[in-house]
Structure 1
Amino acid sequence: MGEPCVSCTKTVWDDCHEKPIRRIQNSWRVCIDYRRLNQASRKDHFPFLPFIDQVLRKLAGKFHYCFLDGFLGYMKIHIAPKDQHKTSFTCPFGTFAYSRMPFGLCNALSTFQRCMINIFSNLLQDCMEVFMDDFTVYANSFDACLGNLSKVLKRCIDTNLVLNF
């Protein structure tokens, strides 16, 4: 990913209650309570997630499917420098602010889904469905499904969208 997702800061917007949690994988994950920031944020009412029954109807009758899972997709979305201080948090290692979108912000889901729809816009009607960072590629034949998968993977490469394996 290149540059770090958080940086040290002297600006404290830290109204949040954060708690570093030790994970089994021997890495840290900071859980931040952004409720006060979310209350002050203008809500983005983008119709972000498709209804599951609509997705199932769209996929019904298809014979071949591929399922892909995005990796750290939120961390690909930059926060404007003038707003980064609003994500600041304090932990035992200092005070930091996110330079990329963390989980917990009220508009993060809408922002991320809008980005995914923009990235895959011309593929959504014909060969794939996007549900946050989960992608379903489909077709009636195996060869067509591989062709569709190739298009989706190329788009991921072209836009630096990383997938889990």
Structure 2
Amino acid sequence: MGWSSFCYTHYLMSAQPAPGCLPGGSEVAPDLSAIPTEYQDLREVFIKSRATSLPPHRPYDCRIDLLPSTTPLPLISSAFEPLQGATVFSKLELRNAYHLVRIREGDEWKTTFNTASGHYEYLVMPFGLTNAPYVFQALVNYVFHDMLNRFIFIYIDDILVFSRSPQEHVLHVRQVLQHTPSGQPVVC
């Protein structure tokens, strides 16, 4: 009994298998029209891999030598002190924020995944990596370091701009927008 037959028999009997995935069934060409339109916006994030077969069998080992970040994410409660006296606020959000961080050249293979339409590797940091929030928080803190806690508070991809007057606020928002990476959309 093959692996897929075993899984189907022992684990998936009550589930509805996808067409073409039944034991002994033939592969069915994937319906690419079902791919979400968001993929088209993020097409440059993925690279089609040249892999044509599965990697050789290796002993299974779950241990990954990972050094977790020692930089904690900011506490929301720490945002309140600098806000004292502010009367005008704007909330900005960096769209597709993690995709601003490029995967180190040569490490793309570590983000490999398979879909019905092919084998892919990320070129930029995907969501879900262990240190992704810390790496991204360190990046935005570095980019906005001269404004941080003076008139902005940043939590991951959310930027709170606060000011004492509307005139001052226009200057602050303009300054923040000038610091965002070129071409990076900001959602208000």
TM-score with structure 1 setting the length:
0.76
Q: How many residues align?
A: 143
- State the partner residue of 1:155: 179
Asked if structure 1 preserves the Cα contact closer than 8 Å seen for 2:93 and 2:186, the reply is yes
- State the partner residue of 1:97: 121
Q: Is 1:87 paired with 2:127?
A: no
Gaps of at least 5 residues in structure 1 are: 16-35
- State the partner residue of 1:21: none
Structure with bigger RCO (C-alpha 8 Å, 6+ apart):
1
Per-residue CA deviation, residues 39-98 of structure 1 (Å, 9 max, x unaligned), is 515233242421111112221331111110110011111101211001000010011000
Q: Extract structure 1 runs of 4+ deviating beyond 3 A.
A: 158-161
Q: 1:159 to 1:40 in 2, by over 3 A?
A: farther
Q: 1:6 to 1:45 in 2, by over 3 A?
A: same
* Secondary structure of the structure 1 residue equivalent to 2:162: strand
Q: Is 1:116 paired with 2:140?
A: yes
Residue 164 of structure 1: CA displacement? 2.0
- State the partner residue of 1:4: 44
For 1:141 and 1:39, the matched residues in 2 are separated by 53
Q: Is 1:44 paired with 2:68?
A: yes
Per-residue CA deviation, residues 11-30 of structure 1 (Å, 9 max, x unaligned), is 59x99xxxxxxxxxxxxxxx
For 1:55 and 1:126, the matched residues in 2 are separated by 11
- State the partner residue of 1:60: 84
For 2:159 and 2:73, the matched residues in 1 are separated by 12
Give aligned-pair identity as a percent: 22
Q: 1:102 to 1:80 in 2, by over 3 A?
A: same
Q: 1:40 to 1:53 in 2, by over 3 A?
A: same
From the two aligned structures, give the one with the greater strand fraction: 1
Equivalences for residues 17-32 of structure 1 within 5 A: none
Q: 1:82 to 1:139 in 2, by over 3 A?
A: same
RMSD over equivalenced CA pairs, Å: 2.7
* Secondary structure of the structure 2 residue equivalent to 1:53: helix
Q: 1:150 to 1:79 in 2, by over 3 A?
A: same
State the structure with more CA Rg.
Answer: 2
TM-score with structure 2 setting the length:
0.67
For 2:51 and 2:70, the matched residues in 1 are separated by 31
